[in-house]
A and B are shown apart, each in its own frame.
Chain A
């Protein structure tokens, strides 16, 4: 089977890769490009652990084919911190202990960042609905929500 050549932009950098037609963006990120921050939880778009943005839209990378991203712009959790400086959301997740096993955390951070870019001052209800597609089996969500709300407040003040 001939592989497909794809040129795209990931976290601001031009990237080229070869992939099979049926390969998902998540598989490409993890297995071909070494970007293992996005996780495969369910592989069917239910859990959000593989969340990335595609042309600024939050998507599940397990439901995108690698071949589809030719000429698109992708951001992943690897693009979130500025070098050694954590993004306010990452810092607040640490302060609030908003994670336990950590599998869902990259997806939730990417999703929360997309929320705050669209709505810098969300209500708790809006935040909970926005993150309804990100499942966490450890924390019970309260710490996650508190961390996001706190980060939003800090970012509004900045």
Chain B
């Protein structure tokens, strides 16, 4: 195995595209280093992207926030602007692992690791976040939901790197939330995870909603029927009931030691209702508003 720490995105792409053997990107390393020690073994080349200045930043962009690929969970959690605009995304990213893992793990890494149970991804999908992908043929913007194609599999072509994620600007009266079920209170992998983002009009009617559902299918799902259950309503009991039913109906889970099919299907609905209620409360409290760029 060779180790390279390029200073620019272009040189990282060139290294990745030009490696005849296997190559892996190293950001936080909390998944990659575990893999290096596993039966899968070492790649021929590891490209550490943490020396690339542009990837370290959280920057205001068009009323939203662009999160660089090497921003750790701890750095994201300490950023007041992102936390105010997208509390659900931040709380999802902060649920990943321990304090030690938070010091290293990145949201882009969580996306690219392509686990169906990735905590930040349902919240990112609910947020309609966009990944900026740079490769040998240039740069393209891709909906985060299109990155993972199956467990551990991505749509990225050879030489492509996710350089950042854009969390878009939010209208007033918007809120988001993420909840997951694990058998204990900390340090576990989601059995079910639900991200909900919604926007209300001045009279309290839901005008837009998105629901991301994790750990119940081969990839994190965008559940349009669940969003449709909220849109046009005041998010009353009947709407929440329909939301829960839509989430349960969308589940195609596996049966494993951490949760049965029946359990995951039921809990998806329960968590979706609770997450929607939190997102609603945040939208009503003005906790999340379209924030002006601070710098």
Contacts and interface: CB of A to CB of B under 8 A. Distances in A.
Q: Do A and B come from one complex?
A: yes
Given A44-B37, A59-B104, A133 B26 contact: no
A132 B99 contact: yes
The A interface, classified by DSSP as helix, strand, loop or mixed, is: mixed
B103 A65 contact: no
Interface string B219-253: 00000000000000000000000000000000000
A99 interface: no
Interface in A65-79: 65, 67-68, 70
B37 A43 contact: yes
Contact of A111 (B36, B72, B99): B99
Contacts of B100: 45, 48, 51, 58-60, 63, 111, 133
B202 interface: no
B33 A130 contact: no
Given A21-B46, A44-B34, A65-B46, A59 B103 contact: yes
Interface in B66-115: 72, 74, 97-101, 103-104
B187 interface: yes
A115 to B, nearest CB: 8
Nearest to A130: B99
B50 interface: yes
B6 interface: no
A24 interface: yes
A73 B168 CA distance: 35
Given A57-B74, A132-B186, A132-B187, A45 B103 contact: no
Place the interface of chain A in its size category: 20 to 34
A22 B48 CA distance: 12
A133 B34 contact: no
Contacts of B33: 24, 45, 62-65
A61 B53 CA distance: 23
A24 B42 CA distance: 13
B263 interface: no
B5 A133 contact: no
Interface in A126-141: 129-134
B40 interface: no
A131 B50 CA distance: 26
Nearest to A22: B1
Nearest to B41: A22
Contact of B2 (A21, A54, A62, A63): A21
Contacts of A21: 1-3, 46
A123 to B, nearest CB: 15
A97 interface: no
Interface string B24-58: 00100110011011000010001010100000000
A63 B103 CA distance: 11
B104 A67 contact: no
Contacts of B36: 22
Contacts of A134: 98
B5 A67 contact: yes
A15 interface: no
Contact of A57 (B5, B34, B72, B97): B72
Contact of B103 (A46, A54, A62, A129): A54
Contacts of B72: 57
Q: Which has the most chain B C-beta neighbours within 10 Å: A20, A59, A131?
A: A59
A64 B36 CA distance: 12
8 nearest interchain CB pairs? A133-B98, A21-B3, A57-B103, A132-B186, A59-B103, A67-B3, A60-B100, A63-B33
Given A4-B3, A114-B99, A133-B187, 8 more contacts: A22-B42, A43-B37, A45-B33, A45-B98, A45-B101, A64-B29, A111-B99, A133-B101
22 contacts: A21-B2, A21-B3, A21-B46, A22-B42, A43-B37, A45-B101, A48-B100, A51-B100, A57-B72, A59-B100, A60-B104, A62-B33, A63-B29, A64-B29, A65-B29, A70-B5, A111-B99, A114-B99, A132-B98, A132-B99, A132-B186, A133-B98
Interface of A: 4, 20-22, 24, 43-46, 48, 51, 54, 57-60, 62-65, 67-68, 70, 111, 114-115, 129-134
